[in-house]
Structure 1
Amino acid sequence: MLSKPIFKQTLKANFKLWFIFTLIMTALHIVLIAVFNPSTLSDMSNMVKDTPLANLLGEATFLGMLSKTFYGIQGVLLPIVFIIMTANSLIASQVDRGSMAYLLSTPTKRSTVVLTQAAYLILSLILMILIVTLAGLVSISVFQADIQVDTTNYLMLNLGLFLLMFATSGISFFFSCVFNLSKNSLAWGAGLPMAFFLLKLMGDVDSSLEGLKYVSMNSLFDTSAIIDGGNVAVPFAVLAVIGIALYLFGMRVFKEKDLPL
């Protein structure tokens, strides 16, 4: 069962952070959609030709370029930072500060508290990606009316981004439930997602380091496969399973562990 008072309190405490990151992501997405016209794509391809960045930018098509920039860098890094900050504040930070002891001194069960916090994090990500997607669709119709954009592939990119962020949030939320100190929660809950991001980025930039990206969970969000019409059902399912499992494990650990109350 969810607690409406706890959810409202969590929403109020974290709304400003969520709004700032959502606004930045949306604005950046709109700008990239607006500037990626045929002449810009050609100029960028010529500029990075025979450089490591050529591997990063990929094909000089609208969705190809967008998939390697926004869906490969900015659109991944920004929500990761949001997730790290929010997940830590939902559980570990409250235990560390002692506010969790006050909350659990009421008749509210641990299971209710942790389920409500998990629901907030998941719903905040759903709403964030949904807003970015809707803004992107409107921007495409306005700025890219002269070119043919595969809407299905665009929506699949956003679905893949959400599933990656869902799995990433599972990592951060799990460690927030495991540790009673914020420094430990952040060390693992931030360290793994950032390591995955950097390993994937390094593998994309330098072909000699391509093997690194397969160590990263982020490689399950294969934007090239989406653009090329490949089968992404299995990696998407794996991301969903990772996220669900980590949330469930995290909630179970929190309900059973000793707390400094």
Structure 2
Amino acid sequence: MNVTLYKQMMKVYMKSFMNYAFGSAFYIMLMFWLYPSIAKNTKAIDELVGSMPEGVGKAFGLNGFGSAEAFISGEYYGLILVLILSIVCVQVSTQLMARLVDQGSMAYLLSTPTTRGKVAFTQASVLTTGLFVIMAVTTIAGFVGNAWFLGDDYTFDTSTFIQMNATAFLLFFAVGGISFLVSSLSNDEKKALSISGLITFGFFSLDLLGKISEKINWLRNISIFSLYRPGEIVNGNADLGVSSIILSVIGLLSFSLAIILFRKRDLPL
């Protein structure tokens, strides 16, 4: 790793990371603030959700409202957090690699006493650090929201909450790795952004469609988003060991392949 480059890139992107982190923290605090009023009408809301087509509930993570973590898993972790981190992965990975090549800045970086491998590894570390910061702030905000809005009046399973956050980080470590791989192979920023966005939101759409109907449930098998199931984590039905290993391997392989191929490819310098 090039420590000087890492520090400079973190300085450049930290404001953006913190904006996303505080945005995520705001939304999850909002969920905690809303839950006490939701909990008073749990039975009626559950009946309403139960009257909906089964696929709709699955697609949008409506997992019941009997506990705070169940409410948050559906209302926040099932959609809002996924969208926030998908945007981070696609945008930042493109800016860290493809933009530098497209604008000619990569030539200046590589003219310094460093190597392509170190540059790529450093940029990958910046993206991973940013994802970690966002999830860490989100997790802390969840504990603050629990203490502030729920207190002793409502039960809250902290271990389940931590598992949801850890799995979300691993999912987007994998998504970020794939996006970073695309960016490392691209000379054009817009093209890299389009391809990464298509892959990321394509996977998300396949998972969403697969939840709606049992007839097309097989679509989930080709989406890495199917490995992220916050509702099942809350219910205790998720196989966290297998999904965590698969997501970690996908992320590590994608980042490693991006670094190796970036070292070997021809660059328009």
- Name the TM tier (shorter chain): over 0.9
Once residues 126 and 97 of structure 1 are traced to their aligned partners in structure 2, the CA distance between those partners, rounded to angstroms, is 28
Aligned equivalents of 1:99, 1:33: Cα separation in 2: 44
Partner of 2:206: 199
Q: Matches of residues 163-178 of structure 1 in structure 2 within 5 Å?
A: 163-178=170-185
Of 192, 213, 218, which residue of structure 1 is paired with 2:225? 218
Taking the aligned partners of 1:129 and 1:258, their CA distance within structure 2 comes to 36
How many Å apart are 1:172 and its aligned residue? 0.6
After superposition, give the CA deviation of every residue in 1:7-57 in whole Å (9 maximum; x if it has no partner). Answer: 122122222221221111110011012212212544543444422443331
Q: Given the two structures, how large is their TM-score scaled by the length of structure 2?
A: 0.90
Shift of 1:208: 5.1
RMSD between aligned alpha carbons?
A: 1.7
In structure 1, what is the Cα distance between the partners aligned to 2:220 and 2:263? 35
Structure 2, gaps ≥5 residues long: none
Instruction: Report the Cα offset of residue 207 of structure 1.
Output: 5.2
Cα contact 2:14–2:130 (8 A) shared by 1: no
Distance 2:26 2:138 in 1: 9
Cα deviation, residue 209, structure 1: 4.4
Structure 2 distance, partners of 1:30, 1:210, is 33
Aligned counterparts of 1:46 and 1:207: Cα–Cα separation in 2: 22
- Specify which of 238, 241, 253 is matched with residue 245 of structure 1: 253
Q: Is the 8 A contact 2:139 2:165 kept in 1?
A: yes
Spell out the pairing of 1:1-261 with structure 2 (5 A cutoff).
2-37=1-36, 38-52=39-53, 53-55=56-58, 56=60, 57-61=62-66, 62-145=68-151, 146-206=153-213, 209-230=216-237, 231-261=239-269
Deviation at 1:222, TM superposition (A): 1.8
The answer as to whether partners of 1:17 and 1:82 remain within 8 angstroms in 2 is no
Counterparts of 2:41 and 2:111, CA distance in 1: 60
Give the counterpart letter for 1:149 in structure 2: F
1:144-181 deviation per Cα after TM superposition (whole angstroms, max 9, x unaligned): 22122111111100001000010010011010111111
Aligned-pair identity (%):
30
What number of residue pairs does the alignment pair up?
260
